[in-house]
Chains A and B, each alone.
Chain A
Amino acid sequence: MIREVQLSAEVAEMPRLAAWVEAEAPGLGLSDRQTYAIQLCLEEVVANLVMHARPAAGAGIAVTVRIEDAPLRVTVEDDAEPFDLTALAPAAPASSLEAAEAGGLGLGLVTAYTTAREYRSEGGLNRLTLAFD
């Protein structure tokens, strides 16, 4: 079973994305934990596109999100300039509040909540595939 939704990389689209996952979860047979893990990873990956990605063409960034079951995989496809999140090292956890900095936690969460991550960029499309238990 495959479910798919299209959105543009804008903050205003984030609630719609979360609601879409919630609505598709029963049909895909997702547990509460799986639904949470997928929403969490999509929030981090798509928010990253919203805040940091540069459009390759003039008019914004188009994003396609796909969820498929058995095995559980989530794909995020975008047409922005290529940027491989999986090549970054997650920020090391701060040792104290005094040393804590804003940001950097999202990538670590994606790594912790997925079993594998693969990034490919070809033909003007970037595709991040996340695998879940």
Chain B
Amino acid sequence: MDIRFEQLSSGVAVIRLKGRLDITGAMKIDVQFAAVAAANRAVVVDLGEVEFLASMGLRTLIMGAKSMRSKAGRMVLYRPIPLVEEVLVTSGTTTLIPVVHDLAEAEAQAQAA
């Protein structure tokens, strides 16, 4: 599981995840993910290269989005593959954190007031 960060010119922070967001993957990125979520008002999480997502990974995403919300920030999930998106929908996560497949739309939603 890899985690990388990028600041877009719009000011939006992008967290790029790659690999398996399972129990070992979540344990590996949890601290860094939470730190970036805490330090930014608008975060887009690029899930495009996440091949597997299970409940421990959902926990990482939801707890990050929750801590951002408590400080009036927003997280958006960007371009999950279909099998990963199915887990997001089935678990009810898409009702808590928006999922979009277009970067401009992701940036706009992350910056929405």
Contact = CB atoms under 8 A, between A and B. Distances in A.
Contacts of A105: 55, 58-59, 91
Interface string A68-106: 000000000000000000000000011111101011011
B62 A97 contact: yes
A119 interface: no
Contacts of A95: 95
Contacts of B27: 11
B49 interface: no
Interface of A: 11, 14-15, 18, 32-33, 36, 39-40, 43-44, 47, 50, 93-98, 100, 102-103, 105-106, 108-109, 112-113
Nearest to B51: A36
Interface of B: 20, 22-24, 27, 52, 54-56, 58-59, 62-63, 65-66, 69-70, 83, 87, 90-92, 95-97
Chief secondary structure at chain A's binding surface: helix
Contacts, number: 74
Contacts of A102: 59, 62-63
Given A11-B27, A18-B22, A43-B22, A109 B83 contact: no
Given A43-B56, A98-B66, 4 more contacts: A33-B83, A43-B22, A43-B23, A98-B70
